[in-house]
């Protein structure tokens, strides 16, 4: 039986040691993956104390040590072969959109294929503690998307918006033929989905609750593209969830009860919890990963919240599955429109043994999804 073919990538948290990043890129290349994507964070979602308590991996600098995505992608270009490189995702607050455009156009010259600019409206943890504005995030993103499209099309001109003003600005750097950077928008809510259809080359959500949920959101993106006189077939439907691999169903059930998986469920917005008949332990207005300020969380409150996570909500926060189960779930999403799957495989946080299993199992999973068999 044949199934829709799915391009498969790999998300890398992108912190020290650099040797680990190089090893992950090498594994991805040997596995003939389609893409390698890196995070753009100043802070982790994890409080440092909780990371030290639950995670076996002691990386230099701790939970919040992240490389700059621009420099990192540049260094990876020579080692990436034919894989696509990208950021998953940045925001237009910490870097002006013209600077983001310059970075991605430079990467287009360093790599063999068009790079992927994953971009969203931003997360509080990377913005507010550093004195940067976190007001009107969606409006700011919309203006940034207009500027980015103009930069990539070689038509940057004066621009007057509520958040950005350009006067006599130029961007003369051009990409090599066939390597125009693609803009993939991290979108979940109605207005963000509409912006994806209007301006994006791809859609890259991190949380979907079912194939039906994915299909509904993807259809919203396509409708917005049609309304903007754009070809919806030119937009890539992607997905970048957290994944934890298990050797068998018994281990999968055990991982769902692990505090690492349950903490990720706390990063799902309270509105999604309510739609599943549950109340978020951190309050009815908590917006999950968008709102979390990890070092301002009360650790006792976090522990109590982790204990209160139901199994079904833990399963939404991270895809816990055996290889066969994961392939079946991704294929169900492919029937709903998914074309590119680039998760962050987090089971390596459980133990060194799990990390070794991930490195062997993930290329095999990717081969099955890419072949459609």
Domains of the chain: 7-251+319-371 (3.20.20.30), 252-317 (no CATH)
pLDDT of residue 254: 94
b/e for 163-181, b at 16 or more Cβ within 10 A?
bbebeebebeeebeeebbb
pLDDT of residue 1: 62
Q: What is the mean pLDDT of the chain?
A: 94
The verdict on pTM exceeding 0.75 is yes
List pLDDT tens digits, range 89-126.
999 999 999 999 999 999 999 999 999 999 999 999 99
Closest Cα partner for 118 from 181, 175, 68, 180? 181
Give the single-character DSSP code of 141: H
pLDDT band of 13, cuts 50, 70, 90: confident
List pLDDT tens digits, range 145-181.
999 999 999 999 999 999 999 999 999 999 999 999 9
Q: DSSP letter string over 207-272?
A: --SSHHHHHHHHHHHHHHHHHTT--GGGSEEEE--EEEE-SSHHHHHHHHTSHHHHHHHTTS-HHH
Tell me how far apart the alpha carbons of residues 135 and 333 are, in angstroms, rounded to a whole number.
34
Tell me how far apart the alpha carbons of residues 175 and 52 are, in angstroms, rounded to a whole number.
43
The DSSP bridge pattern shows strands 159-160 and 165-166 to be antiparallel
């Amino acid at each position: 039986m044949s199934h829709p073919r799915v391009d498969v990538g790999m998300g890398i948290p992108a912190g020290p040691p650099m040797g680990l990043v190089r090893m992950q890129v090498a594994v991805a290349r040997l596995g003939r993956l389609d893409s390698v994507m890196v995070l753009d964070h100043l802070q982790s979602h994890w409080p440092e104390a909780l990371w030290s308590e639950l995670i076996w991996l002691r990386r230099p600098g701790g939970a919040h040590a992240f490389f700059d995505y621009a420099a990192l992608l540049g260094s990876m270009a020579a080692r990436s072969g034919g894989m696509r490189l990208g950021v998953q995702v940045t925001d237009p607050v910490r870097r002006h959109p013209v600077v983001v455009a310059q970075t991605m156009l430079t990467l287009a010259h360093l790599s063999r294929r068009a790079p992927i600019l994953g971009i969203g409206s931003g997360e509080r943890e990377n913005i507010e503690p550093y004195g940067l504005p976190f007001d009107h995030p969606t409006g700011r993103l919309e203006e940034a998307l207009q500027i980015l499209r103009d930069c990539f099309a070689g038509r940057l001109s004066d621009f007057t918006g509520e958040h950005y003003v350009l006067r006599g600005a130029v961007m003369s750097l051009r990409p090599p033929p066939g390597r125009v950077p693609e803009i993939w928008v991290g979108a979940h809510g109605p207005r963000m989905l509409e912006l994806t259809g209007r301006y994006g080359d791809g859609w890259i959500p991190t949380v979907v609750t079912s194939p039906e949920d994915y299909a509904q959101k993807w259809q919203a993106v396509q409708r917005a593209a049609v309304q903007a006189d754009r070809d919806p077939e030119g937009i890539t439907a992607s997905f970048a969830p957290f994944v934890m691999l298990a050797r068998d169903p018994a281990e999968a059930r055990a991982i769902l009860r692990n505090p690492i998986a349950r903490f990720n469920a706390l990063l799902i917005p309270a509105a999604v919890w309510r739609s599943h008949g549950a109340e978020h332990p951190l309050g009815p207005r908590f917006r999950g990963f968008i709102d979390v300020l990890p070092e301002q969380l009360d650790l006792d409150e976090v522990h109590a919240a982790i204990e209160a996570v139901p199994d079904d909500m833990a399963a939404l926060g991270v895809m816990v599955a055996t290889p066969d189960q994961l392939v079946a779930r991704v294929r169900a999403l492919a029937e709903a429109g998914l074309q590119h799957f680039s998760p962050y495989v987090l089971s390596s946080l459980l133990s060194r043994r799990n990390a070794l299993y991930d490195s062997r199992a993930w290329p095999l999973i990717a081969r099955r999804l890419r072949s459609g068999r």
